[in-house]
Copies of this chain bind each other. A is one copy, B any other.
């Protein structure tokens, strides 16, 4: 039995949660941005956070109040580990952006810690611990951000299972992040109240068409379905310029566009990278018209998963 590694670093990408039609259950990873966690195995039976650097520095260092710490606590308890972890986070994703920032720290920490186990787990087996970590930030167990980070690409994340959805390799997303913060709590409050059954009928038809369109590589099904009639109407008023940004994406040939996660970032799905680049530029211009600078991220929808760094 070889001695386990004492330290590992891992990267977890950003993600587009909800993907418009799959509130709390559907998401895809965003290549090129993400958080890095450095985890060390320690003899004390505890989890501690030594440092948080990067785009966010005012997060709690108490492990149980941090998504990364919460996930490692859950992992330790589930596996009854005799040892503990200390970790440092290098955050690349701004919080309150709708790009999966809290989930990325959680998944990066889990994937790094997993590399230090005597018998590492599969990404699927890490999922419940990622849910436990994500719940520290959101108060609820939803896997639409951590799921895609663990498996890569587009993922259906149900209560106890992750299912990767096939997506044509050429399909790309433009994800535009305006320099404005929308607190997840406020975005959640916009969803309070009652819903009508007919809203759900329309949304479920849309979700079904998007899933079938992805699996079959049929863009016409995605175009028919990629429209959020349930959540977007309630959250759009919180995002300055949203209607114009969405229209800019559609005018550029996108298959559909909606809010990424809880916002304010907006994503557009396109059939190729050139269209995504064009749509992204138009969306950024629309945000500029509304008074906001923004960052553009281009990613294959079938994007990368979290990984241990050499």
Residues in chain A within 8 A of chain B (CB atoms): 22-26, 142, 156, 158-159, 161, 163, 165, 191, 194-197, 200-209, 211-212, 215-216, 221, 224-225, 230
Q: Considering only CB atoms, which chain B residue lies closest to A163 in the complex?
A: B212
Protomer copies: 2
CB distance from A155 to the nearest CB of B (A): 11
Greatest chain B CB density within 10 A among A25, A203, A215, A216 is at A25
Q: What 6 pairs between A and B have smallest CB-CB spacing?
A: A194-B194, A158-B205, A25-B205, A24-B201, A195-B195, A200-B200
> Given A23-B197, A197-B23, A203-B200, A212–B209 Cβ distance below 8 Å?
no
Distance of A194 Cα from B197 Cα, bound (Å): 7
Distance of A156 Cα from B25 Cα, bound (Å): 20
Chain B residues with Cβ below 8 Å from A225 are 158
Distance of A156 Cα from B225 Cα, bound (Å): 12
Contact at A191–B197, with CB atoms within 8 Å? yes
Chain B residues with Cβ below 8 Å from A215 are 212, 215-216
Contact at B211–A208, with CB atoms within 8 Å? yes
A/B interface sample: 20 pairs, CB < 8 A:
A22-B208, A23-B201, A142-B201, A156-B209, A158-B206, A158-B224, A158-B225, A159-B205, A161-B209, A163-B208, A163-B209, A163-B212, A163-B221, A191-B197, A195-B196, A200-B200, A200-B203, A200-B230, A207-B208, A208-B208
CB distance from A33 to the nearest CB of B (A): 27
Chain B residues with Cβ below 8 Å from A165 are 212
